[in-house]
Structure 1
Amino acid sequence: MRRADRLFLIIHALRGRRSAQPARRIAETLGVSLRTVYRDIADLQLSGVPIEGEAGVGYVLRKGADIPPLMFNADELEALVVGTRFVRAFGGERLGRGARAALLKINAVLPPDLRERGRRTRIFAPELPNRIEATGLIDRLHGAIQARTVLLLDYRDQHEAVTRREVEPLCLAFWGGSWTLGAWCRLRADFRSFRPDRIATLAETGQSFEDDRTRGLEAYLRSVGAEPDER
């Protein structure tokens, strides 16, 4: 568990409690040692979080000083809920799991009225098994982008002709109905945008590539008319 997540969960464990929470119980909940809990609470106290108590007694958030770590108005919350729904439907399996986890954390610290407002939003993004996002291909492309792994594609053009392309994957873009993979194509020695639904086969070459200034992400974005700071 990341330290940032652990600190967040410690604050959540103390939130709204009238009696002191023993450090041992917090440690058991988080699956960490007592020493780790003591150190994390000391760090939170030093950073200004109003936690009172001591080892062997327990800890509470000072009454009247329970400040929420997240502050959203109703429109911001609805945007987050709708956004996570779209990520779950179109972002691939890995990001979909992340979106679910993020929404659970947000809901954990919201007051009931805002939590209910988020549940009532009527904008949906159904997750369907027949879309490309359900095949795992978007996850594979995303993973290759992050790892800077050269890919070998058998790619169909609009006339169904297949060419073999060795590409350096740079980014994915979702256009509302379709995806494109932005990449440096070694065959054409230029930037190309590939549609994942036209990839007949995909394989990792085992090679990696560097983020070159002349053919990396920022250069690709400029080539398609998007400045890097517009991401």
Structure 2
Amino acid sequence: TGRELADELEISLSTLYRDMAELHAQRIPITGEAGVGYILDDGYDMPPLMLTADELEAAALGAAWVASEADPSLARAARDLVSKLSLAIPKELRPVVLDGSSKPIQTRARVSERFDSALLRHAIRERYRLQLIYTDRDGSTTDRIVWPLLIAFLDRTRYLVGWCEMKEDYRHFKTERVQE
């Protein structure tokens, strides 16, 4: 019954009903209804999170690199990812994630930026254009309207790649030179 499932999963009955509606919407073959109970149809099984030690180590290394190089909110998300992975995998594989043998190391100082890159990532996801006050390598400052496409990481420098309305062409901008 729904009550038994909710108790076993340690969630409220209303959360269970909402989750069941979502599973139905995703066409998961569950028969039943609120107040009666639920049965997962034969032949369907939820896929487990089965990763090899190498795949886990790659994910942990990538997350460690992001935690050390990305903006604060993305770095926090990388640390949260490692925490969630460590809870979702078998106990014997947790040391691969938590005590990995591969670590990112940088020999150059990190470049400081004057803005939060989370705003830039949001603009890329939502397809917003940005107004940038940008200083080029010669020291000239310009006001640009840019349609951001991606953030590129090269060594310890971040670049914004996008369409520049002023130049009517694709351009890359060192994020450390964005004034505002």
TM-score (norm 2): 0.71
Q: Report if aligned partners of 1:182, 1:194 keep a CA contact under 8 Å in 2.
A: yes
The sequence identity of aligned pairs, in percent, is 28
1:36 aligned partner: 18
Change (3 A) 1:23 1:109: same
1:178 aligned partner: 157
Change (3 A) 1:33 1:117: closer
Between the aligned partners of 2:17 and 2:75, the Cα distance in structure 1 is 34
Q: Report if aligned partners of 1:145, 1:170 keep a CA contact under 8 Å in 2.
A: yes
Between the aligned partners of 1:152 and 1:39, the Cα distance in structure 2 is 42
Between the aligned partners of 2:169 and 2:27, the Cα distance in structure 1 is 51
Change (3 A) 1:102 1:24: same
The number of residues matched between the two structures is 163
Q: SS of the counterpart of 2:129?
A: strand
Change (3 A) 1:30 1:200: farther
Q: Give 2:82's match in structure 1, choosing from 94, 97, 103.
A: 103
- The gaps in structure 2 that reach 5 residues or longer are 31-35, 40-44
Between the aligned partners of 1:41 and 1:168, the Cα distance in structure 2 is 37
Moved segments of 4+, more than 6 Å: 40-45
Between the aligned partners of 2:13 and 2:61, the Cα distance in structure 1 is 32
Q: Give 2:121's match in structure 1, choosing from 121, 130, 142.
A: 142
Q: Which amino acid aligns with 2:94?
A: R
2:33 aligned partner: none
Q: Report if aligned partners of 1:93, 1:136 keep a CA contact under 8 Å in 2.
A: no
Q: Report if aligned partners of 1:24, 1:34 keep a CA contact under 8 Å in 2.
A: yes
Q: Report if aligned partners of 1:137, 1:196 keep a CA contact under 8 Å in 2.
A: no
Between the aligned partners of 1:165 and 1:144, the Cα distance in structure 2 is 15
1:8 aligned partner: none
Change (3 A) 1:119 1:172: same
Offset of residue 80 of structure 1: 0.7
TM-score (norm 1): 0.57
Q: Which amino acid aligns with 1:196?
A: T
